[in-house]
Structure 1
């Protein structure tokens, strides 16, 4: 559609259609078929711009005697301004030429950067995207193997609190998604009723808590997170059976876990 608009406007520009301007009342202008934008506020007198038999509208800004003076028309953006109404922004004349020339310069730089012609750029970029996706999959697979190794060799602690088994584990260098994946894995393979996992990643503390669904009437994962998140200088949230938090106080991580254990003890006394 944008190309269609550009083609139509440039066609009318090249036709050098005479442009006439007259001042009349708003009522008379509308009667004559001039197009008005409903969001605009018009006074009692308006300027009616007529471009041959192609266009007639109320406008305050046109300053040419025929369309050929515009030279060249190039759309640079479009977007919605109201329901059923879109706005096109364009440049004309020397500004349009300058816009096209800058785009040509940018395209030439990209051609040189990728070492290919503009006609093959889309295909070349598509191949690069596929290659990046494949490398990302390989990296994710390698990181998962590394996490599994860390998980096997990392010391974990199991606490018995009022007949409830609570597993706490700290593994350095996991992202938020990796820590959540590990929590899901332990939820399936561990026999613990409650799991508290923690890590430091990019100088930030990440915590995940998991509570067995059969226990959530007495203890909720979100309540544990709400209690310990302030200790690490952050916040969090989640569900009764799964919650997470993040913070910046890496030196308070062990203290936060201990506070979580204390909270569980107090809650299970009730």
Structure 2
């Protein structure tokens, strides 16, 4: 049973508060929190605040005692990811002499920040190999409760925080890793299945953030990668080994064709700018164009009208060297009841109308006196 002593609302969210709870809080030790049910309500999030446990629930309940149920499948996944983190952190320390400074567990992947500004592919490969060797070794994972003095005499991977009380919870993975930790863990490293590093990036100057998945998450990641690469291989009619080269070749080709298209658009714009359809509005020559976006963008940069109007990517763009586009757009927004903005030489308005309808609205806007 769980005893709910207080309830409150924050916006549209409901919270049930207890002094003690079987639900592990989110964020504690970098770990995800438990999910499940309290009576008829589903638990969506759990936080610890002011010595109390706050359960975010999907519906209001009354103060009192309730049966609860914890999502054990989720808890098992959390245990797999957390034990995988301990193994990875120990592997980075042994292979690269890099200490883990922080850990965050996400719903799809997890990260560790290690105190090394550079990681090579060889280092990643060596760390993965060692980590998965430990997984395949089926080492027992022991949970020990010892006093602080005894804990400090153990070969801990990381020193104990001063905030820790007299009794310390130690997680010991065979003779491979020993660390203070209050989270969930597997009983045997074989339960993890596999650990896979999926990405890494430099952060905060001297740190590297390593992204990883383990267990069922790793299987899902591999499945997704295989489906994507198979689809690319089929579309590009090449083998997996040739996929990278083929994609690089296509990227270079796209860059070349894009530059050619931009040059042709500029040349075409230059050729047609003197023969564009136009209309005189409030004594000003207004030219307009509706066609290829590249040509429109080139005309907005170079034209012979008092005001150039182009329809570009579902919005009307105005350009002028003599008129104040900001003022025109401000009036157009009122006439069309549409969003827009811009500066003195260029502005835009989003409106799902034809060019003719827009020009009619422009006549009204330019006819409005300040």
- Pick closer, same or farther for the CA change 1:232–1:80 going to 2, 3 Å: farther
Question: Given the alignment of the two structures, is residue 49 of structure 1 paired with residue 171 of structure 2, yes or no?
Answer: yes
SS at match of 1:171: strand
User: Which residue matches 1:237?
Assistant: 341
Match of 1:207 among 317, 323, 329: 317
Deviation at 1:30, TM superposition (A): 6.8
Q: What is the Cα deviation at residue 221 of structure 1?
A: 2.4
CA contact (8 A) 2:324 2:344 kept: yes
Correspondence for 1:172 among 277, 286, 290 = 290
Partner of 1:11: 133
Q: CA deviation at 1:122?
A: 0.9
- Tell me which residue corresponds to 1:255: 360
Q: What residue number does 2:302 align with?
A: 185
| 1:12-51 pair list within 5 angstroms | 12-24=134-146, 33=156, 35=158, 47-51=169-173
Q: CA deviation at 1:124?
A: 1.0
Q: Which stretches in structure 1 are left out of the alignment for 5+ residues? A: 213-218
Aligned match of 1:103: 225
By percentage of residues, which structure has more helix?
1
Give how far 1:130 is off. Answer: 1.9
Q: TM-score, normalised by structure 2?
A: 0.52
The verdict on how the C-alpha distance between 1:224 and 1:158 changes in structure 2, with shifts beyond 3 A counting, is same
Q: Does 1:128 align with 2:250?
A: yes
Deviations 1:60-91 (A, max 9, x none): 211224x3453422234668999968474412
> CA RMSD of the aligned region, Å?
4.0
Structure 1 residues 245, 180: CA separation in 2 closer, same or farther (over 3 Å shift)?
A: farther
From 134, 137, 140, the equivalent of 2:259 is 137
User: Does the CA-based 8 Å contact 1:77-1:90 persist in structure 2?
Assistant: no
> SS in structure 2 opposite 1:60?
coil
Measure the CA separation in 1 of the matches of 2:261 and 2:292. 13
d(CA) in 2 for partners of 1:258 and 1:89? 59
1:46: Cα distance to partner?
A: 5.5
Alpha-carbon deviation of 1:168? 0.7
TM-score (norm 1): 0.68
Question: Shift in Å at residue 180 of structure 1?
Answer: 4.4
CA contact (8 A) 1:111 1:118 kept: yes
- 3-state SS in 2 of match to 1:49: strand
**2:265–2:298 contact (8 Å) kept in structure 1:** no
Secondary structure of the 1:227 match is helix
CA displacement at 1:244 relative to structure 2: 2.7
Residues 329 and 340, structure 2, Cα contact 8 Å, conserved in 1? yes
Q: Please list every run of 5 or more consecutive structure 2 residues that lacks an aligned counterpart in the other structure.
A: 1-118
Task: Return the match for 2:331 from 197, 202, 227.
Answer: 227
